[in-house]
Structure 1
Amino acid sequence: MPSSPPTQVAIIGAGLSGLSFALALHKIGIPSTIWEVRSNNFVQGGAIMLSPNALRILDAIGVYKRIRDKGFHFETLTFKNEHDETTDVYYFGHEQLYGYKAFRVYRQILIDELKLMLHERGIQVKYDTKFTHVIAETPENVEFAFADGSVSTASLLIGADGIHSTLRKAIYPTVKPQYLGFVGMTSAIQTSRLHFPQSEPHYPLPVAIAAGPGAFVIAPQDVDGSEVLIGTQSALREQDRAGWSNLQADKDEVVRLFSRNKTSWPDLVQSAIENIDKDTINTWPYYAVPRLEKWASPSGKIIILGDAAHAVPPTTGQGVNQAFEDVWMLALLLRELGEGVELEEALGFWQRWRQERVDGILDLTRAMNNKRLPLAEQQRLPKGAVWSGGVEDTEQMGWLYGPRLEDVVAEWVRGQRK
């Protein structure tokens, strides 16, 4: 049976990937409904880094113009050593080259704006509804069930329910995320509490400071830069879900982990540690999803995207950015179904192109993770294992920020219709 654009899409998960996918589908004329296990008033803390590859997509679906005055714009992450010497620069964005600076915004601000836009467009989000399993999958649709006994059907069922995806089990019943051995720890403090080096009146932020204990990040996360996120990582053995919850709740233990080897950090970092706000402490263990052979069921009617398909550690700030790429590229391809473009081939192309990008992010992540190791450990690694960019290399991230997904999809579609 020839493919055609779906008539109704069901999305499991109302995080950033699920909400943005519904909005992208609406942009191209495909209706959808979202189901979310959490309540509507659930608040997600912290801020996220958005680079040009994601901002271009958010601009295309009408989101960026609504949030661009609600966050902090910047271009580079500066790397410094314990002597306050600049050793490297990583370009998170570049307005002249890629059309956008990087943008740091509170996650909840973006979620609230996406929810508002969906409400304005009449797209339904059903909260407090726990998806449980797929009942049946046919060439026409998917039937699926919820914990309350209700059942629904759709022409496509999308898993946007994160790294611990329930829908992924319909395709890979035994796959589990893999722990990478590290836990990220952050807090938010007032910038005015930091002791910046007097020798540098215009101190570059965000900054990653490398010293004996590893790397420490300081990044503005509001419009005027008056508040910063401070963060580092710690090697810990894996916990079960209850164990990770206990760590998050034990603020004194997190402060103790922050404070290990405190005197080995420069004065700026010590001042950050001394001013940790326990109420804003957040922890997250680093997990990744093993490489999956397929991001869709054999019929193509069940599809996973974002962290459900390829969760990567947060080191490069690309997790949510890559999810937005999944969302927009898949929506563009679904619009083109028919006239020589079949669902199976479209999904195959989508995954191949996207997997190559994810592989590049994973390579970059490993090198950046190594750059955050204690200096003694870095020195024991082989040449090239630690990321190095170059202070003047403004085009170092062109492979990541440059491609336009509309052009990528259009070129592939032209080849299919010859």
Structure 2
Amino acid sequence: MATQKNIAIIGAGLSGLVLALSLHQQGIASQVYEVRDAPLDIGGAITLSPNALKILKKLGIYEPVLREGYQCEAFHFRTQDGQPFDDYEIGSVEKYGYPGLRIYRKVLIRELQAECRKKGIQVTFGKKFARILSESDTAVTWEFEDGTRGEADSLVGADGIHSRVRSYLHPGLEPDFMNVLAIGAAIPTSRVQLPHGWTFPVTIMSQCHGAYILAPNLSDGSELVIVKQRRIEEHDRAGWKKILDDKEGNIAFLREGAGAFPDVVSQAVEAITPDSVMIWPFYQVPKMDRWTSARGRVSILGDAAHAIPPSSGQGANQVFEDAYTFALMRARCQEATTLTSVLSKWQRGRQERIDRLIVLARQMNVRRLPESSNPGAEEVIGGEDFNMGWLLNPDLEKMVDEWLAM
């Protein structure tokens, strides 16, 4: 059993809550602090694949989550005229024991929160982390914006891509904007006539007009989200809000060129209402030499350490892997003097998988943007290796043992 018994977690999003439950499973106590005044209730649907679902199974909340999501096994690719082109596997009950699952982020947060309450894990809202005050070989102290302070054996920043905890490890480091913005909207599936023989989710590609993504939401598939990406310069928070508030401009972008695609696209964009429009700027955190402080008492994980663009379909899944394997590694720290070494091995092992995913995400972005903004895109389309067994079916316990043996 680990000697570290009290870990503070900054952030009650997916990574923070999965980490708290994973630590509890390993006999390590934690407390979660969240800047918002209530559980996160924003964000669209995300895709979970078997590597994440098997973690939810281990944590005891797979069944309720499964009931809430739309089950699917692949993202399918079609050409501009609707011909099948390729498949990108996201799950398979037959091969991996789990499907792929489209589910709203807020549903996951709700179920994770409920399990934390059941396990007696305290989540405190309305606490904005300000700074680390001190770190020793045995403890860390920090301060919140309201002036209150805390102390624990360790602190983990699970506070997202604009992490404040990360600034303690890497002062001045900011996420890189990838000059890609996804614009989408959710509509009732009943408003479109789904083409006979098509399987969803689907990406319909055009070298001239980019690509449309059509993905069902909800367990019965009664909601359909349509998404399109564009190149754009970075904006500040006020600028992104201005773009989001330009509902008619976003709808006009989604409708632009839709007539060159199968009828289902035109039907979908015509059914969009302004209140359903969403945007997702794509950011990526620069590769860092360390995710843990020199004394090992402060760490970051999830988007704070390596934001993965949504085009990989693996952002949330890798957050789950981070949190679960971090807990396994911490449980193997028998002496405080081994903490830094163990967490360095954890980072190296995790980074190898992240690096492969970043390459995959870049390939997916090339597929989904028009040739005019991607010189040489025609050489990439169809050239990727989308055999996903290495990704979807990891033995995480064995993986951790191998990292420890390095």
TM class by shorter-chain length?
over 0.9
C-alpha displacement of 1:411: 3.9
**Residues 241-279 of structure 1: CA distance to partner in whole angstroms, max 9, x if unpaired?**
110011112211211221223333332111111111322
**Residue number among 348, 353, 357 corresponding to 1:352 in the alignment:** 348
1:156-235 superposed matches below 5 A? 156-197=154-195, 201-211=196-206, 212-235=208-231
Cα contact 1:367–1:387 (8 A) shared by 2: no
**Residues 210-245 of structure 1: CA distance to partner in whole angstroms, max 9, x if unpaired?**
123111001111111111111111111211111001
Cα contact 1:88–1:388 (8 A) shared by 2: no
Answering whether residue 206 of structure 2 is matched by residue 236 of structure 1, we say no
**Residue number among 322, 327, 331 corresponding to 2:323 in the alignment:** 327
**Residue number among 102, 105, 110 corresponding to 1:104 in the alignment:** 102
Which amino acid in 2 is paired with 1:119?
R
1:57-136 superposed matches below 5 A? 57-136=55-134
Q: Distance in 2 between matches of 1:346 and 1:178?
A: 29
- Name the counterpart of 1:407: 398
Number of residue-to-residue matches in the alignment? 405
Change (3 A) 1:341 1:221: farther
Q: Distance in 2 between matches of 1:82 and 1:381?
A: 15
Q: Distance in 1 between matches of 2:377 and 2:204?
A: 19
Change (3 A) 1:375 1:76: same
C-alpha displacement of 1:289: 0.3
- Name the counterpart of 2:280: 284
Which moved further from structure 2: 177-186 or 340-349?
340-349
Change (3 A) 1:376 1:234: closer
Q: Distance in 1 between matches of 2:111 and 2:84?
A: 37
Q: Distance in 2 between matches of 1:347 and 1:376?
A: 44
- Name the counterpart of 1:364: 360
Secondary structure class of the residue paired with 1:348:
helix
Which moved further from structure 2: 103-112 or 402-411?
402-411
Cα contact 1:210–1:375 (8 A) shared by 2: no
Change (3 A) 1:340 1:302: closer
Cα contact 1:213–1:265 (8 A) shared by 2: no
Answering whether residue 6 of structure 2 is matched by residue 11 of structure 1, we say no
Which amino acid in 1 is paired with 2:364?
M
Which amino acid in 2 is paired with 1:232?
K
- Name the counterpart of 1:260: 256
Answering whether residue 25 of structure 2 is matched by residue 27 of structure 1, we say yes
**Residues 312-333 of structure 1: CA distance to partner in whole angstroms, max 9, x if unpaired?**
1100111111111100101001
Q: Distance in 2 between matches of 1:204 and 1:226?
A: 14
- Name the counterpart of 1:295: 291
Q: What is the TM-score with the length of structure 1 in the denominator? A: 0.93
Which amino acid in 1 is paired with 2:397?
E
**Residues 111-163 of structure 1: CA distance to partner in whole angstroms, max 9, x if unpaired?**
00111111111111110111100000000100000011100001110000000
C-alpha displacement of 1:7: 1.3
Q: How many percent identity over aligned positions?
A: 40
C-alpha displacement of 1:57: 1.1
Q: Distance in 2 between matches of 1:324 and 1:42?
A: 17
Answering whether residue 308 of structure 2 is matched by residue 317 of structure 1, we say no
Secondary structure class of the residue paired with 2:5:
coil
**Residues 161-203 of structure 1: CA distance to partner in whole angstroms, max 9, x if unpaired?**
0000011001111100111111111111111211334xxx232
**Residue number among 28, 42, 45 corresponding to 1:44 in the alignment:** 42
Q: Distance in 1 between matches of 2:382 and 2:172?
A: 34
Q: Report the aligned-residue RMSD.
A: 1.9
Secondary structure class of the residue paired with 1:343:
helix
Q: Distance in 1 between matches of 2:373 and 2:86?
A: 18
**Residue number among 373, 396, 400 corresponding to 2:369 in the alignment:** 373
Q: Distance in 2 between matches of 1:183 and 1:94?
A: 30
Q: Distance in 2 between matches of 1:289 and 1:340?
A: 29
Q: Distance in 2 between matches of 1:311 and 1:5?
A: 30
Cα contact 1:286–1:313 (8 A) shared by 2: yes
C-alpha displacement of 1:380: 2.5
Q: Distance in 1 between matches of 2:221 and 2:55?
A: 25
Q: Distance in 2 between matches of 1:266 and 1:20?
A: 40
Which moved further from structure 2: 177-186 or 40-49?
40-49
Cα contact 1:217–1:231 (8 A) shared by 2: yes
Cα contact 1:12–1:159 (8 A) shared by 2: yes
Cα contact 2:230–2:369 (8 A) shared by 1: no
